[in-house]
A and B are shown apart, each in its own frame.
Chain A
Amino acid sequence: MGLGAKPGGQEQKGREDASALVKWARNNRRALTSTLFLIVMLMGFTMANPEVFSQFKTYRSVMIALPVSMFLVVPLVFVVTAGEIDLSFPSVVGLSSYAFVSIVDQGGEPLLGIVVAIIVGAALGYVNGLLVVRIGLSALVATLGMNFFLRGFINILVEGFSIAIPEIRGAFIHSLMTDDPIKIVDHLGIPNQMLWALAFTALGVFLYNRHSFGVRVHCVGDNPESAAEMGINVDRTRILVFVFTGIGAALAGVFSVMINFVWWPTTGDGLLLPVLAGLFVGGTPTWGGIGTVFGGAIGTSIVAFIETGVIAAGLTGFFTQFFYGLIIILSLIFQRFNGGRVR
């Protein structure tokens, strides 16, 4: 009993308030770990090259392409939490953005292109879901197969040709979504796509923690038998996480083309490993049932800053992969302190 302790509930309530911060930290320890890791890493880079890392434009340049990864990592956290995996997203990015770019290239309305891309992405995600949930294939193998299959389909479709859409520059939707800042508000020179990606992450965080969909994803990944016994439609929940990933991949694809003004047959290809690395570095464990959307966004930022940091530190590009590996393993070791799987 402390000094001046009041009897009954009053005193107990005071104790609860005092521990609220501790409780919050405990509940968000995985995301906090990756955030701390990002800060320490950036401090390290700043010490290695103060000139580059004290300039805002360094951060701005990373924020140009980073949003593409963020649109992918947010739904992927749901997939991994549900106890599944989706390795087909690079090709879903490619095929859904092909739908977008074809419509714009033929003079179609960009907004229509975006809607069609999202429908394509959602449909491909649904197919993934059917393969895994209804036919019962392993998610790892089925989505890996889909990744090859869809990329092959793209190659057959376009025979190696890329599509440029320079005409999109100046379109209202383009300046709303990407780099050209609309001068309505001064948003500190942060590229618009970054603001959209942050909004998408915030939506993901809300959906994951506060919406019944996200909560059911947790339960299904934690113990599917229990979830079924409690009346959760386990199959539908699992299919929906794949559909969500398809939608995220479509948005990532549209932003990628908007940023580059070009669609390549390889669009999305290079994203597989950095995005997955970001997901796990961010603090979502591999076993399902728990995870962190915010951490996922932080994790992709860690991965995105590695290359810039390595070059700025005066090392050659040959060191990039070496540091990718080093930083991924280091951050996973730190996440290990947050505990293993509990049953």
Chain B
Amino acid sequence: MKNDYIIELRDVTKSFGNVKAVDGISFGVSPGEVVGLIGDNGAGKSTLIKILSGVHQPDSGQIIVRGREVRNWNAARSRDAGIETVYQDRALAPQQTITRNIFMGREIKDRFGIIKVRKQYEEANRLMREIGFTSKVFDPDSPVATLSGGERQGVAIARALYFDADLIVLDEPTTALSLVETAKVFGFIENVRARGRSIIFIGHNIYHVFDVADRFVVLDRGKVVMTEDRVNIPAAEVLIKHMQQIAEMSHADASAVDA
């Protein structure tokens, strides 16, 4: 077993009522790799992401960060561990300024909790330029509600950039984006990879995932049903075929249970 994982889950489970959303998943991310996490609706992708990002606590299993088991895992600890998550809903507070959103939960402040407003503004300004916000219509003091979907995505990504995360989790990052904006997201992923950081990329569009991932992890009904390196899969179509087989199998299982 590799021991250089940034984060590793061992036999993690999470149930909501009677539904086992995550059912004994073991899974780790190595430095510099891009993991494509795929699976149908209800496969457990979102729950797994929220366990990684600390929003959900697992019912059982271990969370190991850089070889050390962590207890009382939560969102603040996850971020302290260098994991930044770009959520599908962007995790934004739309009435607040861009600056406030970038630094939400991790403000630049002194030890009395007083925020360094000037510094935050300047950093936000720099980040906005870095991700290519050139609009004169808004500035770091503008409320997020004035931004388009792609620009909001940019704010969420700016967080990951600023905190220079070791692992960035992108949950459906290309949903509802224009072609140009989608291309920007891929550019961002290449950038992060080039800097030796890791990414978990969750997507419905298997072509998108196939283009960027080094390794694929396929989930089905709360379990990892397939893990394969990109080099072993000749084309996206092969991966899609695998996925279809998995879907048919689970369909057959479900029918068997019904009968």
- List the interface of chain A (C-beta within 8 A of B): 23, 27, 210-213, 215-216, 218-219, 222-223, 225-233, 289-290, 341-343
For A219, the chain B residues whose CB sits under 8 A away are 93, 96, 100, 104-105
Chain B residue nearest to A211 in the complex (CB) = B113
Assess whether A215 is in contact with B91, with CB atoms less than 8 Å apart.
no
B252 within 8 A of A: no
For B114, the chain A residues whose CB sits under 8 A away are 210-212
Chain B residue nearest to A216 in the complex (CB) = B105
Assess whether B75 is in contact with A228, with CB atoms less than 8 Å apart.
yes
Give the interface residue-count category, chain B.
Answer: 20 to 34
For A341, the chain B residues whose CB sits under 8 A away are 95
Assess whether A223 is in contact with B93, with CB atoms less than 8 Å apart.
yes
Distance in Å from the Cβ of B228 to the closest Cβ of chain A?
A: 30
The A-contacting residues of B in range 59-96, CB under 8 angstroms, are 74-79, 85, 87, 89-96
Chain B binding surface, main DSSP class: loop
Assess whether B94 is in contact with A223, with CB atoms less than 8 Å apart.
yes
- In angstroms, Cα B90 to Cα A332, docked, is 33
Distance in Å from the Cβ of B168 to the closest Cβ of chain A?
A: 14
For B87, the chain A residues whose CB sits under 8 A away are 226, 229
B115 within 8 A of A: yes
Distance in Å from the Cβ of B170 to the closest Cβ of chain A?
A: 14
For A213, the chain B residues whose CB sits under 8 A away are 113
- In angstroms, Cα B90 to Cα A342, docked, is 16
- In angstroms, Cα B115 to Cα A23, docked, is 20
Distance in Å from the Cβ of B130 to the closest Cβ of chain A?
A: 17
For B89, the chain A residues whose CB sits under 8 A away are 225-226
Query: By CB atoms of chain A within 10 A, which of B54, B105, B159 has the most?
Result: B105
Chain A binding surface, main DSSP class: helix
Additional 16 contacts, C-beta under 8 A, given A215-B107, A230-B106, A232-B75: A23-B141, A210-B117, A211-B114, A211-B115, A212-B109, A212-B115, A215-B115, A219-B100, A222-B96, A223-B94, A225-B89, A225-B91, A226-B87, A229-B55, A230-B104, A342-B146
The A-contacting residues of B in range 132-148, CB under 8 angstroms, are 141, 143, 145-146
For B104, the chain A residues whose CB sits under 8 A away are 219, 226-227, 230, 232
- In angstroms, Cα B114 to Cα A222, docked, is 21
For A212, the chain B residues whose CB sits under 8 A away are 107, 109, 113-115
Take A27-B141, A211-B115, A215-B115 as given contacts and tell me if A227 and B105 are in contact as well, using a CB distance cutoff of 8 Å: yes
Assess whether B94 is in contact with A230, with CB atoms less than 8 Å apart.
no
B53 within 8 A of A: yes
- In angstroms, Cα B7 to Cα A38, docked, is 58
Assess whether A231 is in contact with B54, with CB atoms less than 8 Å apart.
yes
Write the B4-39 contact mask toward A (1 if CB under 8 angstroms, else 0): 000000000000000000000000000000000000
Chain B residue nearest to A219 in the complex (CB) = B93
Assess whether A342 is in contact with B76, with CB atoms less than 8 Å apart.
no
For A289, the chain B residues whose CB sits under 8 A away are 93, 95-96
Chain B residue nearest to A232 in the complex (CB) = B105
Distance in Å from the Cβ of B15 to the closest Cβ of chain A?
A: 20
Distance in Å from the Cβ of A27 to the closest Cβ of chain B?
A: 7
Chain A residue nearest to B109 in the complex (CB) = A212
- In angstroms, Cα B76 to Cα A208, docked, is 22
For B79, the chain A residues whose CB sits under 8 A away are 230-231
For B107, the chain A residues whose CB sits under 8 A away are 212, 215
Query: By CB atoms of chain B within 10 A, which of A23, A230, A232 has the most?
Result: A230
For B115, the chain A residues whose CB sits under 8 A away are 210-212, 215
- In angstroms, Cα B111 to Cα A211, docked, is 11
Chain A residue nearest to B112 in the complex (CB) = A211
Distance in Å from the Cβ of B97 to the closest Cβ of chain A?
A: 9
For A222, the chain B residues whose CB sits under 8 A away are 93-96
Assess whether A343 is in contact with B94, with CB atoms less than 8 Å apart.
yes
Distance in Å from the Cβ of A95 to the closest Cβ of chain B?
A: 30
